[in-house]
Every structure is written in C-alpha cells, then in structure tokens.
Amino acid sequence: MDFFDFSKSVKREDLISRLKYYHEKADEGMKLLHNNKNDALSIQKNLKEELAKEYKEYSKVKLQEHILKNGDYSQYVSNITDAYVNQKRGKSVEVLRSNLYDIFDYMCYGFEEEFINK
C-alpha cells in the first residue's frame, strides 16, 4: 500500500477509497467471526500491520504542517491513528471482535456521508 503524499494534492475520493478499504475488510473479518476465527484473526492482523505503517508514516514531524492545513487530510490521519492505537492485544481471539469493530467504526468519522451513500 502506498502512502499519500500530503505535501502534494491528494483527492478526497482517494482518501475515502482507502478508508472504505479498511472499513470493508474489517466488516469481512467480523462476518467470519462465528465460522472461521483464524481467517478473521488473519484479516485483523493484516489490517493492524497496514495501519501501523500508515500511523508511523503520518506521525513524522515533516508531514504535520501539510496534514494540519487540510481538514480532509487531518481527519484521515486521525481515523488511521484512532483505529491503530485502539487495537488491543492484536493476536488475541478474545478481543478480536472489538478490534475489528474499532477499525470498522473509526474509518467513517468525518466522512459519514460518503459511507452512508456507498
């Protein structure tokens, strides 16, 4: 997954597309919880790894100026950050539903209208 270059113009649609990717993958994982916990855990693990990479990239001081100047960029990074830092014991089946739901839910913040009108 490529990182967004917030020092250049990033389309709102591209941000929403990435958020929807996380949202839909988390939803897929939640649907697997009853029948296939191993696949659900694998999805959550992959999502957490992707979120970690984005979180690390967008936490760089050199990007903060660009992120904070744009409401969409700032909201996107906030959603990624919230979803990542709220993951609990990443490999634990006991908190799997909660972890997947957090990713699912945080992706919508600030972009609710786009998620309602899929």
The reported pTM is 0.93
Q: Can you list the alpha helix ranges (DSSP code H) found in the chain?
A: 12-32, 37-58, 61-68, 71-85, 96-106, 112-116
Largest CA distance in the chain: 45
Confirm if 65 and 11 have CB atoms less than 8 A apart. no
Give CA–CA dist 11/108, Å, rounded. 17
94-112 pLDDT, tens digit per residue, is 899 999 999 999 999 999 9
Q: Is 51 exposed, middle or buried (0-12, 13-18, 19+ CB in 10 A)?
A: buried
Mean of all residue pLDDT scores within the chain: 94
Residue 75, classified by CB atoms within 10 Å of its CB into exposed (0-12), middle (13-18) or buried (19+), is middle
pLDDT of residue 36: 93
Give the residue among 83, 107, 103, 99 at the shortest CA–CA distance from 41.
99
Interval 42-92: pLDDT, tens: 999 999 999 999 999 999 999 999 999 999 999 999 999 999 999 987 567
